[in-house]
Chain A
């Protein structure tokens, strides 16, 4: 997610000699990509920064400042922390708050305090203009404070009208399916089950936790007492709720990426201080701080050698430890480092420390090396070779290659096709079991182009298998328009020959409307049959005798039958090919050759007689008179 960081605000927290362009470059190369820098009218610069999903801790001015303090010194710039944390306030026991948390994992940390003497007034200009630079509209000092501190510290905050919380009681629980509430933006939302909500003493829902407050407990111009509220929620529940409701607020985006467990109270103190300065509010209760399941302290083994091995270069141990120190890690005596509380979700293993050290060191400082070592003794899968060869053949025979979607409509996908549980649309709802239907669509779409047109696609289809992944064979489909049937058949037969396949693969061409022909084959089967090896037959020093014979073919007899029959008649029949076909008469070219002697006219007559007898006997085929 991208965040906006004004340079002037950053300099409230740190003092540095780096100019905006230095900051922008250092962040991009060592931490986060600065996608844009925006110049403001008042001379300020705003950085638009892409924060990776693992770094919720950096979604704030403070988070970016922490990075810069670690990165800049090594690049020749000074960088020191100047912002002082707010101090703890003095509690009073005036206004009670009863809190019940129904399940531990909903809200790992819950803190709140009541403030009195609230008055409604606008924020100072500095606050309003900074909020505007980060894309938030200023409303009034009370609400603006929660937004301002969320941007500065990364901790979302909320403020209720204390007197609108009936019975001054809060019950944090999971929603029931179908419960309704109205959020601050005036929208009525119907909740699914499992969303974190707060109900008050009268059972009214007063907060859509971590996402947005509710209208019924909102601070308005009559508010004098407010409940200031800083929490940490279960990130997974917040993400699921915010996604399901389609309501992605700044608060939700931060909660779902994880918020610093130890930042809660400092945030609360800062808010109390800021409001006291701006509107003169005062503390009016004890501090509520419920930390059910303390988190945030973890240790990871610091393996200096592993870091150097991953980097492929020597980095001094002192540089390693110093870098980690600047990033907030504490090197302990037991060989471990203590992970800073804001990184507890992200730093878990020694490799994570390696990333921290090497990114600060600079990836550009590492060499480019090609692989050395043993080359894997692997045979390449020959399927790729045959697929490429077939594609080239089809291309050089005038066909156009296509890729269509692996999903299509239920109708086109074929019977038994697997459905997609969450399709983008009904047009892409099922996994295809055949390529032809979509290729026919391609043909239809291109009907404006003139002349013979043919398309092919080589892609997997998905054939359901009980209790397992579908079978996913590579299929080859061809669709043509206006091409004579035997031309297409000839292309496919020649392609098979080109792949070294003679008679052992059969295919069927289908006819469609408007001169369309199509076929589909299992190309994995073709790849399995394809072969490089060709067998040499010695070349005879005698000449062959060729002749054309025309036969009358009875209905139902096929060319393949005739061919097989003739070839079996005599081993001197070496070649036979189809020549012509007219009505029921078929002309064949036959070649006779004897490798040991010249075939004489007497031999020819003898062979021919065998052919006539055999054809008549087994197929009722006779010579055309």
Chain B
């Protein structure tokens, strides 16, 4: 007889007690364990066969077990005495009845996650018009009349009279149209997170005519590229995970100078290069230091203030998260319940 054996006896006793369905069954068990010729009495009797150096430990343990088992009998017994029903072991093993719960759309979930990451850095969420003037979508952003993005094959124009001041009406092709609107509020410094629906004339595996973007804009004294790198790295580590890295590549956007394309290390090959990525990197989106002409459009002195901005697709960013495995952006707006309920 040893101490390990005592533990096993306690476990089986407690299990049987918890499964006892009525007072009668409980009494049978009491006799089995605590009766004069019960298992515990037996164990007390066999103390003599325990080696001397273990006798003390054995005795102590045995007393503990007796008390525990007795306690369970008393509790269960009083339940039966008060008529409190017991749940049978079979029922306990069945699955619970789930409440009927619906689902939040992937986009809503992604937006919440993004907002929660930027909030501690002092960013405040905003929203600007989805149907916007050309002026805010382009001119104020240093995109002159002849810029290719303004051609009708990229931007949706609204069939409405032109404004003398602000030009044509468009479906805003990017959240950057909120930049100058935010600046014109005249409150500095700025840490804006603008999340809004946008539209472009496009349908591919990665692009849809309607989509969401999130746009960060920081304007303050002394803002430089290291701040842009720091904030984007913070976002990436929090959103994608500690093991993902970013890199900046030179790029070209009219409203930032310098401009960058931000890449994230590939989740599949971790930067070594594979067939899903470009030499170990995947494109995340654009960013850059706010162009002085954009600051001027917003009534801000570019000699005194500087800033950075980035604007990325909500759906696209979420799709790049490890494990989502959404292979086609079109699922996201298909609203098939079999898709929705997976998120």
Contact = CB atoms under 8 A, between A and B. Distances in A.
Interface string B105-120: 1011000100100000
Interface residues of A, number: 91
A312 B163 CA distance: 41
A66 interface: no
B333 interface: yes
**What bracket does the count of chain B residues touching chain A fall in?**
35 or more
B121 A373 contact: no
Given A403-B107, A418-B159, A30 B250 contact: yes
Nearest to A395: B102
A25 B332 CA distance: 35
B76 interface: no
A468 B163 CA distance: 8
A236 B124 contact: no
A472 B132 CA distance: 10
Contact of A373 (B101, B133, B189, B258): B189
Residue of B115, B257, B333 contacting most chain A CB atoms (<10 Å): B257
A310 B225 contact: yes
B131 A459 contact: no
Given A54-B252, A399-B102, A402-B335, A469 B229 contact: no
B259 A243 contact: no
A449 B121 contact: no
A459 B195 CA distance: 13
A358 B229 CA distance: 14
A33 interface: yes
Given A311-B224, A424-B203, A375 B130 contact: no
B292 A422 contact: no
A311 B230 CA distance: 13
B333 A404 contact: yes
Contacts of A402: 105, 335, 340
Nearest to A54: B252
A452 to B, nearest CB: 8
Interface in A60-96: none
A39 interface: no
Interface stretch (B45-53, B58-66, B145-153): B145-153
Interface string B169-197: 10100000000000000011111000001
A604 to B, nearest CB: 36
Contact of B201 (A24, A236, A399, A424): A424
B158 A418 contact: yes
B299 to A, nearest CB: 17
B301 interface: no
A54 B259 CA distance: 11
Interface in A436-479: 442, 445-446, 449, 452-455, 459-460, 462, 464, 467-470, 472
A546 to B, nearest CB: 28
Given A370-B231, A396-B101, A459-B197, A431 B158 contact: yes
A405 interface: yes
Nearest to A256: B148
Given A363-B225, A368-B233, A407-B210, A401 B131 contact: no
Contact of B227 (A31, A370, A388, A469): A370
A397 B306 contact: no
A423 B148 CA distance: 18
Interface stretch (A199-207, A376-384, A559-567, A595-603): A376-384
Contacts of A381: 124-127
Given A33-B249, A33-B261, A405-B210, A371 B230 contact: yes
B224 A472 contact: no
A398 B229 contact: no
Contacts of B225: 310-312, 358, 363, 366
Interface stretch (B33-41, B84-92, B214-222): B214-222
Interface in B8-43: none
A35 interface: yes
18 contacts: A36-B278, A351-B289, A363-B229, A368-B229, A375-B122, A376-B187, A383-B127, A391-B108, A395-B103, A403-B332, A406-B197, A407-B209, A418-B158, A420-B158, A420-B171, A421-B159, A422-B201, A462-B131
Given A449-B338, A462-B131, 19 more contacts: A55-B252, A351-B257, A363-B229, A371-B218, A381-B126, A391-B108, A400-B102, A402-B105, A402-B335, A403-B332, A404-B333, A418-B159, A420-B156, A420-B171, A421-B159, A423-B156, A446-B335, A449-B337, A468-B163
Interface of B: 99-105, 107-108, 112, 115, 121-122, 124-127, 129-133, 146, 148, 151-153, 156-161, 163, 169, 171, 187-191, 197, 199, 201, 203, 209-210, 218, 220-227, 229-231, 233-234, 247-252, 257-261, 278-279, 289, 291-292, 306, 332-333, 335-338, 340-341
In the A-B complex, list the 8 residue pairs whose CB atoms are closest, starting with the nearest: A312-B224, A355-B258, A52-B252, A312-B226, A419-B159, A398-B100, A375-B122, A363-B248
